[in-house]
Structure 1
């Protein structure tokens, strides 16, 4: 048998459409791919190994651009979540853990403070861009007051920002929801692409907001759409 063992130690997970990328600064697959072979001739070895090497090259080419790109952009003490099948990515604090949040596609929370979390959801839309919804102030005000806020909650919007990356537009805003017994503050980022209306919300208890605000703003600003 030409190839008796093949080690791909540079891939630490099964190939999938959703990746959880740790903090890494470089990937060197050539140093971590090992082969062992027994051949009867150099010609036979070369002819039989060539298709395998070509396959590895194609796999490396497919995975490295995306993983290297996100590795360069991951801030210290954060991890990246990349969903190629649903077309989005973002970073979250590295000590948070994933959990199921009803009606959402992905979610992570603080291991000790469950109300400190990030979650992403999307719904189908016939709009092509976030600008198609209307002026930013009007869109955000209606969303916070009539969608995010419960009937017994008072909504306050503190800040609204727009950014554009690779031709895609994003609205990020800070808002507070206050009820008689509880108050929370959040950042939200919304965007439209791939025939979907995406929403990322990262929140914390109001009492902790001043301590974690900057940390959570990194999460909100990191949300990006991927073409699918």
Structure 2
């Protein structure tokens, strides 16, 4: 499915109002591209819930990628990790994904985990989550209604022009995931990304993996593997 940046207008007023009520500003903070030094693990203006999470996050940094070796491996991690990828498994926060084996962990503001290319720092993956009373991503609406709203109003900054190239829905072990491929263009800079969103464990999870747009054709397939690997774990 290909959707241009003009296609946001076909969301019905009723559905748009519904999504706004479900995804108010406190529930879906905008994506940010600010990274901090290795000694800073959370933003200074974090909310109380973010602070409590950040206090224990340093214990996960550096060992998260090894968790798969410390816990009973699932069939996914025993059999399905592609060559030149590694698995990140967070049994405490209930999610997992794979990332290129030559990437390194880094601190990305307000995110729970993040990895980046050693040489190309704008080529990275990061995951964040927030509390929600919803049980499943489908509770927000169908993928063709929810994704355009999110890309335009949550992922894009005011000075960025969003364009959606593809939207997909998948189901794994009874859990549902929405994935979108999109570009955010501004006057001086354009980025391309995949975002995978899911709801489980009383949390709304967002994984974003991307790169500068000029490199997208070369790295797209590599990064799509990361986006498609995101899975929720029961906690």
Q: TM-score normalised to the size of structure 2?
A: 0.71
Q: RMSD of the TM alignment (CA)?
A: 2.1
Using the alignment, how far apart are the partners of 1:69 and 1:133 within structure 2?
28
Residues 16-72 of structure 1, C-alpha deviations (whole Å, 9 max, x = no match): 7963149x9xx9xxxxxxxxxxxxxxxxxxxxxxxxxxxxxxxxxx83344x64132
- Does residue 63 (structure 1) correspond to residue 71 (structure 2)? The answer is yes
Bigger RCO of structures 1 and 2 (CA < 8 A, at least 6 apart): 2
**1:85/1:182 Cα in 2 relative to 1: closer, same or farther (>3 Å)?**
same
Which residue in the other structure is 1:102 paired with?
A: 109
Which residue in the other structure is 2:231 paired with?
A: 224
Which residue in the other structure is 2:152 paired with?
A: 145
Unmatched 5+ stretches in structure 1 = 1-14, 28-61
Could you tell me whether the CA contact under 8 Å between 1:21 and 1:79 is conserved in 2? no
1:19 to 41, 58, 64: 64
Bigger Cα Rg: 1
Q: Which has the higher strand share?
A: 1
How many residues align structurally?
176
Could you tell me whether the CA contact under 8 Å between 1:190 and 1:197 is conserved in 2? yes
- Does residue 173 (structure 1) correspond to residue 180 (structure 2)? The answer is yes
Which residue in the other structure is 1:58 paired with?
A: none
Q: TM-score normalised to the size of structure 1?
A: 0.73
Unmatched 5+ stretches in structure 2 = 1-58
Using the alignment, how far apart are the partners of 1:64 and 1:196 within structure 2?
24
Distance apart, 1:87 and its partner CA: 0.1
